[in-house]
Amino acid sequence: MLTARMLRTPVAALQHETGADREAKGPCWVSRVALPAPVETDALDAILDAVKSLGNGDEDYTIPATEDVRAQWTGYRAGVPQDQPEPMISESEKFRCLQRDVRSPMTILYAHGGSNYLLGPAVRRATATNLAKLTGGKCLLLQHRLAPQNPFPAALLDFFIAYLTLLSPSKGSLHASVPASHIIFAGDSSGAELALSIVQVILYARKQQDTEKPTINFHGQRVELLMPAGLAFQSPSVDHQHDTMPSWVANIEYDIVPPVAPGYDAGFPTDEVWPSKPPRGNYYCETSMLYHPLVCAMAADTWQGCPPMYMAVGSKERIVDGARYFAQLVATQGVPILWDEYELMPHNWPMGFPRHPLSEQCYSSWAKACSRFVNGPPIQSHGTFTTFEGSPVRELDVTKLTPLSKNDVARLMRRKQSSIRPFTGTPVTKSHL
């Protein structure tokens, strides 16, 4: 949660504070790993090909280096108290201990939120541990590169390399190959954005190679680029710009997301990383990329062929209109989706208020969806609205979540995009995050 002090703290300092690692105390196993960068450029090329094909040709972006990807294997550690210290053993031994507590073949590839410029794995360790406990599986908690130092598509490349490493581990990896049918893409806020972008990359590869099973070179192997078993998101960001939709203003008094985002408003202290050089209007990407399908999921034309999806949102989130529109969009295109909306809940409420009954209910439903995607049976689209008291639960038609049409959303996106100017460090009057 952003505090008033954080709104006056330079970006690099914010990143250091919110992204720092810490000891893994209590009932969790954590094994820190570095996933080796491939020698081949195929993973990067697949993303760049999708950027070019899915865009209009006018987008600007920075081609990232392909680097090792840091991540943390995370699992439930049974039978220890909350203050149990992290054991002083090797990372490989921690992974072996984690594996002994796993009861399911499921692996959840989890991307944390933070608008792609804040936070780190430690902030979502409790979330990953809870999901591992409830599903019996394990999580690979991604530590992707952060903007503004590493703008789009650096974080997207990191997520893609992590997924390919699960499918086809390099020599010396702690884990064995994980079938795509046992993998869940999960995340919160902007982490969902990364996962959905990789789904679009896979959909494009299918089209380009004219097959349901496209392949890609990775660490000397030809790897089938299959879809994961499912997607499972909490408070998902499907519009990186955030403030495109009406709920951004309508829910300003109720959400934990601040009225003014750090880094774009008058008086924000500059540092060595922000403003970027040359200046941009957004931490994560150039203004020309803001409504590209690999940045803004609700801008994509098609999601046909996407795996089944779970989305949990609060009715008082500032980003809820975008989530409703996106869920409705994919449902009408035949993608099975489970939609859970919780009355009065703000952004990321299960993380901020983990003992609240609606947080516990959300975690339970989130985990059940993950298990259902892996173990079956197949789902049918279904929506619920849970009142603040927990009951009654009202049924929702996921094809009728919002009156906003595709033309409405396109108009709002164009209007917002035309209003954004690069942040140069001089005072501005309006947030653009």
Selected residue with higher pLDDT from 2 and 333: 333
User: Which pLDDT does position 425 carry in this prediction?
Assistant: 80
User: Which pLDDT does position 427 carry in this prediction?
Assistant: 45
- Looking from the CA of 409 toward its CB, the CA atoms found within 13 Å total 25
Instruction: Categorize the per-residue pLDDT at 264 as very low, low, confident or very high, splitting at 50, 70 and 90.
Output: confident
Instruction: Categorize the per-residue pLDDT at 4 as very low, low, confident or very high, splitting at 50, 70 and 90.
Output: low
| Res 123 pLDDT > 80 | yes
Under 8 Å between Cβ of 284 and 115: yes
Tokens of 217: 């070179």
User: Which pLDDT does position 395 carry in this prediction?
Assistant: 97
Tokens of 363: 């975690």
Tokens of 396: 């929702």
Place of tokens 């947030």: 431
Expressed in angstroms, the distance from the first to the final Cα of the chain is 16
Strands of 309-314's sheet in order across: 28-35, 69-76, 138-143, 107-111, 183-189, 230-236, 309-314, 337-342, 382-386, 393-396
| Res 426 pLDDT > 80 | no
User: Which pLDDT does position 391 carry in this prediction?
Assistant: 83
Tell me the per-residue pLDDT of 64-114, one tens digit each, with 9 for 90 and over.
999 999 999 999 999 999 999 999 999 999 999 999 999 999 999 999 999
pLDDT average, residue stretch 259-265: 73
Q: What is the mean pLDDT of the chain?
A: 94
To 5 degrees, how large is the angle CA 178–CA 183–CA 187?
135
Helices (H), 1-58: 11-19, 42-54
DSSP string, 258-293: -SS-TTSSTTPPP-SSSS-SS--SSSSS-GGGTTST
Residues in contact with 65: Cβ distance below 8 Å, sequence separation at least 6, in sequence order: none
Tell me how far apart the alpha carbons of residues 200 and 207 are, in angstroms, rounded to a whole number.
11
What is the model's pTM?
Answer: 0.96
Tell me how far apart the alpha carbons of residues 357 and 364 are, in angstroms, rounded to a whole number.
11
- The one-letter code for the residue type at 375 is N
Closest C-alpha to 353, from 54, 126, 104: 126
- The one-letter code for the residue type at 281 is G
Phi, psi of 369, deg, nearest 5? -65, -45
Tell me the per-residue pLDDT of 350-362, one tens digit each, with 9 for 90 and over.
999 999 999 999 9
Under 8 Å between Cβ of 396 and 341: yes
Q: Is 360 left (phi over 0), alpha (psi -120 to 50) or beta?
A: alpha
- Looking from the CA of 157 toward its CB, the CA atoms found within 13 Å total 29
